[in-house]
Amino acid sequence: MNLNDDITTIKGIGPKTAAPFRRAGIFYVYDLLTYYPSTYKTYPEVSAVLTAEEGESAAICAPVKNIYERCAYGKTITTAALSVMGLSVNLVWFNQRYLKRSLKPGIRYVFYGRVSYKGRTPELVQPQYFTIADYQKKVGVKLPVYPKVFGLTDKLIEKAVRQVLSEVNITEYLSDDILEKYQLLGLPSAFNNIHFPENSKMLSKARERIAFDEFFMFLLSHRLSALEEEKVPNTLGKFDTSICEKIKASLPYKLTKGQDGALNDLLRDFNGKYITQRLIQGDVGSGKTIVAFCSMAVMAYNGYTSAIMAPTEVLANQHYQKLLSLTKRLGLEIPTVLLTGHVKGKARREALEQTASGVPSFVVGTHALFQEKVQFKNLALVITDEQHRFGVKQRNALIEKGRSVFSVVMSATPIPRTLSLILYQGMNISTITEKPSVRKPLKNAVIDPSLRKNAYALFVREVRAGHQGIIICPLVEPSENAEGENVEEYYEKLKNTLPSDITIGKLYGPMSSEKKDAVMSDFASGKTDILVSTTVIEVGVDVPNATVIMIEDAQKFGLAQLHQLRGRVGRGDAQAYCMFVDTSGSKTPSKRLEVLKASNDGFYIANADLKMRGPGDAFGVRQSGDIAFKIADIYNDSALLAKASECVEKLLSEDPELKSMPELKKFLTEESERSYSNL
């Protein structure tokens, strides 16, 4: 039997029994071998008295008092009665006719099964039974429990797997050196132990080996295809980067070490041999924008156009305004154009003429910019801002779009380094770890709705001190279908509650773009004291004078989103405050809100988010289906991931054609054959 054989070569799996296996995605012998148990069960010691509660499993030992069979609803029902230390226990089986003959009254057996109570009488439904000697051999042994698929039982899978394990020759494809260096279990032993663990220690070694291999194969195949991809040579010429110094000198602050580092990385890229892609990650408020602007200025200064794309109109407009004031301050003559869905008519025509003209300029737009048929001439840099739902697929699409331009992605979701290594394969990464040091850490509180009065008092105090505030509601207007505060009513309510000289604004997605811009610029200029908004304000909006934010129905939002929202305040020097209103009425505090209260550190939040939701969900990867590990867990196995990555790098640098590892090459070829025919 071979790993690439069809499962019907396994004894007992004919065309008919193969159907449920195929439903479970098992086509080849190899698929069965890698159909891992979702958990294991252990047979417990026999209990002398039955103390198990409803739903728990127990093993009891007693002689059968009587056993009889009846028919009901077209089924044969076999019942037996036991007496365990004076307690009556009933056993029930369905459609197991042979039982009446094999279970002899008066003889002691061990019965193992789930307990349910009929009144006060415990009952074991469909229990397994063993002779005492047989059971003793099983106690403490871990047995596989497989993911449930209709028509497949653990027994069926177990039998097939045992046969495969005994008949297939599993060849080790990793070298002894690698196994030794990373202390990995051999492949045959790993497969045996993942299905039928000898003990807990072997199981964890088996898990480790298989997780390592999953990471290893993933990284290796991506690396191999990256090696085949041709690098685009950088023919843009030598860049004069002196403009950066001028910009820096004009700023009211000094760049942080992380900002300087990221900028220098970019400048080095521009003067490098090849066109590159870079991810700049930094928590909200770490100051990514100025880094982007400096790099754009370098492009313009050297005769090239650059584009920056934002996820929302509000943010695009903010970038546009800031770029305008930057060029004005520095006296630079760089045409700056805005291209969003709402720039229409003459303004749009002019913007398009500008991008097609080849005159070095700044182009600002929403993410849709690249989907549209915008003609660019002389484009050399594309920056994508606030791309925190950035999946592997989008990344590839982006690279496809602009193979000959530098691309930079800025993300506020700090992804643990090991994880970004996988997600952004082949991309360069700069991380801004610190926030400008002048800032005081945000003060957080989770409050009950009854404390709103105190919260409003804080808003008034801050406004009196010359600052501004933001209140977030989940909804735009009252809705029949959704519960929660809405901006329209909240705005009215607030006007009646707060002193009349305090100016209040409102902002939400469905407003016209002119209206949104007007509201935002009133808030940015300080004309509006308090802004009531939906989450449209979430991404990137920068008003350093805002010092207090309150998020209504906070329990309804996701962790990452709440962290983004509170990042709208605390961007200046003054102390800032964030209040999460938990309207759930629940006595136990929400886990997510507790995490946010405990820390302002985006890395910590991202890790907590990963733990609670699983890495795939947190970053939109699971849906994209690009990364499907069966055993490995990107978060919990991050140390292993780092090892696998190190191993792959070393291997490819020494032996890019894998000449020294023929077994590995063979495995990769076979695997790609399997996955192609599964499509």
Judged by CB under 6 A, the stretch of 42-50, 52-60, 137-145, 538-546 that binds ligand ADP is: 538-546
Chain position whose Cβ is nearest to Mg ion: 540
DSSP 281: E
Choose between 365 and 570: whose C-beta lies nearer to ligand ADP.
570
Q: By rule CB under 5 A, what string of x and - marks binding of each residue 174-193 to Mg ion?
A: --------------------
Choose between 79 and 521: whose C-beta lies nearer to Mg ion.
521
Residue 256 interacting partner from Mg ion, ligand ADP, none (CB closer than 5 to 8 Å by kind): ligand ADP
CB of 565 to ligand ADP, least distance (A): 12
Residue reference for tokens 């990867």: 621
Instruction: Concatenate the DSSP letters of all residues of 65-79 into one string.
Output: EEEEEEEETTEEEEE
CB of 283 to ligand ADP, least distance (A): 7
Residues 402-421 close enough to bind ligand ADP by CB under 6 A: 412
Q: Which residues contact 409 (CB under 8 A, 6 or more apart)?
A: 277, 278, 279, 280, 383, 384, 387, 390, 395, 398, 427
CB of 288 to Mg ion, least distance (A): 5
Instruction: Concatenate the DSSP letters of all residues of 27-47 into one string.
Output: -BHHHHHT---SEEEEBPPPP
Q: Which of 3, 60, 255, 334 binds ligand ADP (CB under 6 A)?
A: 255
Strands (E), 288-441: 305-310, 336-339, 362-366, 379-384, 406-411, 428-432
Q: Which of 449, 526, 544, 620 binds ligand ADP (CB under 6 A)?
A: 544
Residue 44 interacting partner from ligand ADP, Mg ion, none (CB closer than 5 to 8 Å by kind): none
Judged by CB under 5 A, the stretch of 73-81, 349-357, 472-480, 537-545 that binds Mg ion is: 537-545
How far is residue 672 CA from its own chain's centroid?
26
Q: Which of 542, 552, 582, 609 binds ligand ADP (CB under 6 A)?
A: 542
CB of 560 to ligand ADP, least distance (A): 14
| 250 sits near ligand ADP (criterion: CB under 6 A) | no
Residue count, binding to Mg ion (CB under 5 A)? 1
Instruction: Concatenate the DSSP letters of all residues of 398-456 into one string.
Output: HHHHTTTSEEEEEESS---HHHHHHHTTT-EEEEE-PPPTTPPPPEEEEE-GGGHHHHH
- As a whole number of angstroms, the distance between CA 266 and CA 250 comes to 20
Choose between 78 and 327: whose C-beta lies nearer to ligand ADP.
327
Choose between 193 and 256: whose C-beta lies nearer to ligand ADP.
256
Pairing between strand 406-411 and 379-384? parallel
CB of 520 to ligand ADP, least distance (A): 14
Residue count, binding to ligand ADP (CB under 6 A)? 20
CB of 504 to ligand ADP, least distance (A): 23
| 436 sits near ligand ADP (criterion: CB under 6 A) | yes
- As a whole number of angstroms, the distance between CA 494 and CA 210 comes to 58
3-state SS assignment for residue 121 = strand
Residue 415 interacting partner from Mg ion, ligand ADP, none (CB closer than 5 to 8 Å by kind): none
Q: Which of 34, 78, 193, 256 binds ligand ADP (CB under 6 A)?
A: 256
By CB atoms closer than 10 A (0-12, 13-18, 19+), residue 444 is middle
What is the CB neighbour count within 10 angstroms for residue 388?
A: 23
| 327 sits near ligand ADP (criterion: CB under 6 A) | no
Report the DSSP beta bridge partners of residue 274. Answer: 233
Kindly list the distances between the CA atom of residue 196 and the CA atoms of 27, 149, 202, 513, in Å, as whole numbers in the listed order.
Answer: 22, 20, 10, 62
| 285 sits near Mg ion (criterion: CB under 5 A) | no
121, 127, 136: which is closest to 50 by C-alpha? 121
Residues 97 and 68 sit within 8 Å (Cβ to Cβ): no
Residues 564-603 close enough to bind ligand ADP by CB under 6 A: 571
Residue 544 interacting partner from ligand ADP, Mg ion, none (CB closer than 5 to 8 Å by kind): ligand ADP
Residue 438 interacting partner from Mg ion, ligand ADP, none (CB closer than 5 to 8 Å by kind): ligand ADP
| 540 sits near Mg ion (criterion: CB under 5 A) | yes
Judged by CB under 5 A, the stretch of 63-71, 115-123, 368-376, 534-542 that binds Mg ion is: 534-542
Judged by CB under 5 A, the stretch of 56-64, 525-533, 540-548, 604-612 that binds Mg ion is: 540-548
Q: By rule CB under 6 A, what string of x and - marks binding of each residue 258-297 to ligand ADP?
A: -x----------------------x-xxxxxxx-------
Residues 389 and 363 sit within 8 Å (Cβ to Cβ): no
Judged by CB under 5 A, the stretch of 342-350, 445-453, 533-541, 628-636 that binds Mg ion is: 533-541
Q: By rule CB under 6 A, what string of x and - marks binding of each residue 487-526 to ligand ADP?
A: ----------------------------------------
CB of 409 to ligand ADP, least distance (A): 13
What are the contacts of 519-528 at 24+ separation with CB within 8 A? 520/314, 520/317, 520/318, 521/321, 523/468, 524/318, 526/468, 527/503, 528/468, 528/503, 528/504
- As a whole number of angstroms, the distance between CA 533 and CA 490 comes to 10
CB of 445 to ligand ADP, least distance (A): 22
CB of 32 to ligand ADP, least distance (A): 49
3-state SS assignment for residue 384 = strand
CB of 217 to Mg ion, least distance (A): 36
Residue 286 interacting partner from ligand ADP, Mg ion, none (CB closer than 5 to 8 Å by kind): ligand ADP
Residues 470 and 569 sit within 8 Å (Cβ to Cβ): yes
Residue 290 interacting partner from ligand ADP, Mg ion, none (CB closer than 5 to 8 Å by kind): ligand ADP
Residue 253 interacting partner from ligand ADP, Mg ion, none (CB closer than 5 to 8 Å by kind): ligand ADP
Amino acid residing at 31 = D
CB of 248 to Mg ion, least distance (A): 19
Residues 523 and 468 sit within 8 Å (Cβ to Cβ): yes
- As a whole number of angstroms, the distance between CA 108 and CA 64 comes to 7
Chain position whose Cβ is nearest to ligand ADP: 287
- As a whole number of angstroms, the distance between CA 141 and CA 42 comes to 6
Residue 284 interacting partner from ligand ADP, Mg ion, none (CB closer than 5 to 8 Å by kind): ligand ADP
DSSP 486: B
Choose between 386 and 485: whose C-beta lies nearer to ligand ADP.
386
Q: What share of the chain is helix, strand, coil (3-state, %, to 5)?
A: 45, 20, 35
Choose between 37 and 285: whose C-beta lies nearer to ligand ADP.
285
Residues 43 and 138 sit within 8 Å (Cβ to Cβ): yes
CB of 251 to ligand ADP, least distance (A): 8
What does the block give as tokens for 13?
Answer: 């799996």
Judged by CB under 6 A, the stretch of 12-20, 170-178, 255-263, 481-489 that binds ligand ADP is: 255-263
Amino acid residing at 584 = S
Which residues of the chain form contacts with ligand ADP (CB under 6 A)? Answer: 253-256, 259, 282, 284-290, 412, 436, 438, 540, 542, 544, 571
Which residues of the chain form contacts with Mg ion (CB under 5 A)? Answer: 540
